[in-house]
Structure 1
Amino acid sequence: MSTNITTPGNGAGESRLMNGFLNAIERAGNKLPEPALIFFYFLLVVMGLSAVLSLMTFDVVNPMTQETVQVNNLLSAEALTNTLANMVTTFTTFAPLGIVLVAMLGVGVAESSGFINVGLKKMLRVTPKKLLTPMLIFVAMFSHVAADAGYVLVIPLGAIIFMSAGRHPLVGIAAAFSGVSGGFAANMVPTGNDALLQGFTQAAAQLLDSTYTVNTLCNLFFGIASSILITLVGWWVTERIVEPRVSKMTIDGDYQHEEDMSSVSDKESRAFNRASLVMLLGLAALAAAAWPEGSMLRGTDGSLTSYSAPIMKSIVPLIFLIFILPGIVYGFASGTFKTGKDVIASMNDSMSKMGSYMVMAFFCAMFIKAFSDSNIGTLLALVGADGLKAMELPGEATIIGMILLTAAVNLLIGSASAKWGLLSPIMVPMLIAVGISPELTQAAFRIGDSSTNIITPLMVFFPLVVVYCQRYVKGAGVGTLVSMMMPYSIAFFISWSLFLLAWWGLGMPLGVAAPYTWSAG
């Protein structure tokens, strides 16, 4: 199968040095075993290392427990017994697994019926091709409102959208991934992550000042401005660095893209209108149910965006319903579906494509559980924080050091809450001591956390994105994805860090009730 791919530029500005660097990363990365085996080997390494380190004593105190960190021996009889006894639940409770499979059941029906393709055709008619990249990155960042929906919805759609526009699908995956994960700390509206991090930040600040409070929206204004920065930087990286290089890759994967994406028949248009009406009515019903102050969809505090709010906990089931219902309507109205068996067949087909992901998810879940149980990640994070504290740098340099430390720890500990839970009790009081506010410290943490999300295979959705790439390029592997995302990671880290320093220097507000300097309440 041959596919014509166009690029928005001639790639003349691409650095030979950068291209060689990225090619070396890709070659080295793709020489690694299958991702599932990588996680398996990492599991063995962690287990062996835990046995050695468990014999040593470390003078490092966990600020959350006030106890000395001790590495647990995963090769002990008790630990091995627990691993076997909990293996099934470790896999079935692996957070991304259920999210991905349930969402893909609904999205799979909408895709197989043709509803999504017709919607993309119509969207491409009104979106200038020159603005396709920034539009995708911005939408990807906005998807943070819907928890992890961007990973299972926006990223695969990015590939379809770009391929429909005659561009390489892996470029669409890279652009969407950069917005969903690399721009995780940037958004135009508050998300549940704001409340999650605020709780840790306030608790850490109160270690020194028991009356100090941190507003949930303390990083809102900086986050809004950051969404514009990340869109522009991601746009430039995509079209100047990533696309000229990725477009040379041969598209040889098992994907369905034979139809003409330039026209929509009258029958398809009528079916799409009916299905869209069903989708809009469903969204209107959801809005009506959530609007009242006493809605069951709200949290105990009346919020719709807090992690405890039932509507936030129902995001994935809602995605399932929002896509499967119009998908079914479109399928029967257009003739794609004849009977209910066709609907079930489309769901079966979507699950059959997820086999390799489920295998990777199993070993990934086992590795992450072992890494957490061993306490090795905790030890490394706290040692790094102590090292930064001992350097006694000036304010601006300390903020950059904070971003660097977070970025490094992010390569080992994927969960933002786990990282901030470990680092905040150390870093917030430490920076308070040099006059830096907890709100500014939190903003620095969020930059470091976001910038390296897209290059660490330990991020729980990373294996899923590798699978997306393999749908179009069979030989794509961990090295392919890391090499695609490395330019974004570097560009985001540098530009975002400088942007924070400039924002600080100009005295622009970080957010609601968010000072730059600390003063006792």
Structure 2
Amino acid sequence: MQSTTRNKEGRFLSGFLNAVEKAGNKLPEPALIFFYMLLGVMVLSLVLSWVDFGIINPVTSEAVKVNNLLAPAALVSSLTNMITTFTTFAPLGIVLVAMLGVGVAERSGFINTALKKMLNVTPRRLLTPMLIFVAMFSHVAADAGYVLVIPLGAIIFMSAGRHPLVGIAAAFSGVSGGFAANMVPTGNDALLQGFTQAAAQLLDNTYTVNTLCNLFFGIASSIVITLAGWWVTERIVEPRVSKMPIDGDYVHDEDMSSYSAKESKAFILATLVMLLGLGLLAAVSWPADSIMRGEDGSLTGYSAPIMKAIVPLIFLVFIIPGTVYGYASGTFSKGKDVIDAMNDTMSKMGSYMVMAFFCAMFIKAFGDSNIGTLLALAGADALKAMSLPGGVTIIGMIVLTAVVNILIGSASAKWALLSPIMVPMLMAVGISPELTQAAFRIGDSTTNIITPLMVFFPLVVVYCQRYVKSAGVGTLVSMMLPYSMVLFVVWSLFLLLWWGLGMPLGLAAPYTYPAP
């Protein structure tokens, strides 16, 4: 009887996800979707610009007004700034520079040999949790996970005889769905703490928030998210995705069970060069007065030079050992071979660049219109008006953030808008700023993986199309929706359990205000 019930539930879920994929893939090309959304926002901004919503922005203390993007001055500004809007689109440079280095390492065979060695020592059963955990750990290197871990996830799974899109889904769930979970502090901790403390001081001007106020909860969350993502991958996503035919341009028929003695020696040499470079970087960064540290002495803060140089460092960390491996193994014989590897990598990024252009135009227009700000503040006011109990309020905070996250991708932009309202409001009912920030971070993570407005979403679609030509926005959303739903429920309940048990959120982080 239970087996029959489970089968019915499985068929229902599979049918639902198939419907999501089918509906999503009936949409136009991703580039056209962003173009149509750009037109829609422009028209909507014209209509809403005539409306007085009576909502005050707590950051500027001014009434929120939707800006008309079809006004002559706005149109002229869009045209004159179009080039810089595209060239300064944050993911564009990150992706292209990192992929140049990774492309050389991949074309030379360095990455394949590394994967062969890894697969020989890693049990197939543990590939999924290992990938998700590594994906979460990549948050230390800012956005490196999007351009490094996710495509490698596909290669790792394909090399192990599993569907590459399952590897993409698992890695994406860790990099983006588990964005707030990590075993070590990241620059995001300092970024959010600044907004949280400023918001708390609107009510209590002596209140201070520790940068690591969510550290212990984040460490525990990384284990929970790894286990939850592992379950979703193997119980829901893989059985469904494995049926998709692999017909993309990326062919990987190489035997991953063995490698030659020459390849092994080349790998050892290249790895030693990589380790030497990393050791040199560590030696330069370690001193307290290192030029790689920020003004506050931090190595992980957003202002630290080493954090700003993460992508160029990724480029060097891959291109140098990749080149060494290529010459040592015989894959490369002249400098032109290295350049050809870069050219080949860039030739496959054309569709992403087209999508990035229209994505940049839409995100810029959406931000300029002020529609996202209006929706975020209206949602916060609605939550405030409900006056719910503490635990329910925290869940409401997570829901609000998750919904706003679908429309506003930047964590700092969302928290800059929501924190001046939510932090003092919840302090007034006895909930600490540290707990409010933890709730925000859960909502900010769990819907990253299902919104096409997340700036790296188009890139992940391109990764999928390397293996399944028909993959589109619907394919990716249908793969990631189970992760989003499960992570939302599990992580929210885990926060309530952590709170209920009185476990510490982090350093100097009470649950209540004022602190007991």
Length-normalised TM-score, structure 1: 0.97
Among 95, 108, 123, the alignment partner of 2:103 is: 108
Contact 1:466 1:478 in 2 (8 A): yes
State how far apart, in whole Å, the 2-side matches of 1:259 and 1:279 are. Answer: 25
Structure 2 residue 514 is the aligned partner of structure 1 residue 519: yes
Structure 2 residue 78 is the aligned partner of structure 1 residue 78: no
State how far apart, in whole Å, the 2-side matches of 1:263 and 1:16 are. Answer: 39
| Equivalent pairs, count | 511
Counterpart for residue 150 of structure 1 = 145
Which amino acid in structure 2 is aligned with residue 465 of structure 1?
V
Alpha-carbon distance, 1:519 to partner:
1.1
Structure 2 residue 200 is the aligned partner of structure 1 residue 208: no
Residues 216-242 of structure 1: per-residue CA shift (max 9 Å, x gap): 000000000000000000000000000
CA RMSD of aligned residues (A): 1.0
Among 168, 190, 197, the alignment partner of 1:173 is: 168
Counterpart for residue 502 of structure 1 = 497
Residues 422-459 of structure 1: per-residue CA shift (max 9 Å, x gap): 00000001101110000000000000000000000000
State how far apart, in whole Å, the 2-side matches of 1:183 and 1:18 are. Answer: 23
State how far apart, in whole Å, the 1-side matches of 2:495 and 2:405 are. Answer: 19
Counterpart for residue 410 of structure 1 = 405
Alpha-carbon distance, 1:256 to partner:
3.2
State how far apart, in whole Å, the 2-side matches of 1:59 and 1:336 are. Answer: 66
**1:111-510 alignment to 2 at 5 Å?**
111-510=106-505
Residues 462-497 of structure 1: per-residue CA shift (max 9 Å, x gap): 000000000000000000000000000000000000
Contact 1:294 1:302 in 2 (8 A): yes
Residues 197-225 of structure 1: per-residue CA shift (max 9 Å, x gap): 00000000000000000000000000000
State how far apart, in whole Å, the 1-side matches of 2:152 and 2:166 are. Answer: 12
State how far apart, in whole Å, the 1-side matches of 2:514 and 2:10 are. Answer: 47
SS in 1 for 2:255: coil
Contact 1:145 1:189 in 2 (8 A): yes
Alpha-carbon distance, 1:520 to partner:
7.4
SS in 1 for 2:376: helix
State how far apart, in whole Å, the 1-side matches of 2:9 and 2:468 are. Answer: 22
SS in 2 for 1:15: helix
State how far apart, in whole Å, the 2-side matches of 1:473 and 1:396 are. Answer: 43
Counterpart for residue 5 of structure 1 = none
State how far apart, in whole Å, the 2-side matches of 1:296 and 1:506 are. Answer: 43
State how far apart, in whole Å, the 1-side matches of 2:404 and 2:328 are. Answer: 51
Alpha-carbon distance, 1:254 to partner:
0.2
Counterpart for residue 52 of structure 1 = 47
Contact 1:14 1:241 in 2 (8 A): no
Which amino acid in structure 1 is aligned with residue 402 of structure 2?
A
> Matched residues, percent identical?
82
State how far apart, in whole Å, the 1-side matches of 2:189 and 2:372 are. Answer: 24
State how far apart, in whole Å, the 1-side matches of 2:110 and 2:135 are. Answer: 20
State how far apart, in whole Å, the 2-side matches of 1:181 and 1:518 are. Answer: 31
Contact 1:90 1:366 in 2 (8 A): yes
Residues 101-145 of structure 1: per-residue CA shift (max 9 Å, x gap): 000000000000000000000000000000000000000000000
Structure 2 residue 89 is the aligned partner of structure 1 residue 94: yes
Which amino acid in structure 1 is aligned with residue 76 of structure 2?
T
SS in 1 for 2:148: helix
Alpha-carbon distance, 1:259 to partner:
1.4
State how far apart, in whole Å, the 1-side matches of 2:508 and 2:438 are. Answer: 14
Residues 46-85 of structure 1: per-residue CA shift (max 9 Å, x gap): 0000001011111000011000001000000000000000
Contact 1:121 1:262 in 2 (8 A): yes
SS in 2 for 1:296: coil
Among 27, 38, 50, the alignment partner of 1:43 is: 38
Which amino acid in structure 2 is aligned with residue 485 of structure 1?
M
State how far apart, in whole Å, the 2-side matches of 1:96 and 1:311 are. Answer: 18
State how far apart, in whole Å, the 1-side matches of 2:9 and 2:39 are. Answer: 40
Counterpart for residue 8 of structure 1 = none
State how far apart, in whole Å, the 1-side matches of 2:112 and 2:264 are. Answer: 11
SS in 2 for 1:328: helix
State how far apart, in whole Å, the 2-side matches of 1:453 and 1:339 are. Answer: 43
State how far apart, in whole Å, the 1-side matches of 2:52 and 2:8 are. Answer: 53
Which amino acid in structure 2 is aligned with residue 422 of structure 1?
L
State how far apart, in whole Å, the 1-side matches of 2:255 and 2:436 are. Answer: 51
Moved more, 250-259 or 157-166: 250-259
Length-normalised TM-score, structure 2: 0.98
Contact 1:212 1:520 in 2 (8 A): no
Which amino acid in structure 2 is aligned with residue 167 of structure 1?
R
Alpha-carbon distance, 1:22 to partner:
0.5
State how far apart, in whole Å, the 2-side matches of 1:14 and 1:285 are. Answer: 55
Counterpart for residue 29 of structure 2 = 34
Structure 2 residue 16 is the aligned partner of structure 1 residue 25: no
SS in 2 for 1:492: helix
SS in 2 for 1:372: helix
Which amino acid in structure 1 is aligned with residue 409 of structure 2?
G
State how far apart, in whole Å, the 2-side matches of 1:460 and 1:14 are. Answer: 34
Please list every run of 5 or more consecutive structure 2 residues that lacks an aligned counterpart in the other structure. 1-5
State how far apart, in whole Å, the 1-side matches of 2:515 and 2:225 are. Answer: 34
Which amino acid in structure 1 is aligned with residue 20 of structure 2?
I
SS in 2 for 1:25: helix
Residues 162-209 of structure 1: per-residue CA shift (max 9 Å, x gap): 000000000000000000000000000000000000000000000000
State how far apart, in whole Å, the 1-side matches of 2:319 and 2:513 are. Answer: 50
Which amino acid in structure 2 is aligned with residue 419 of structure 1?
K
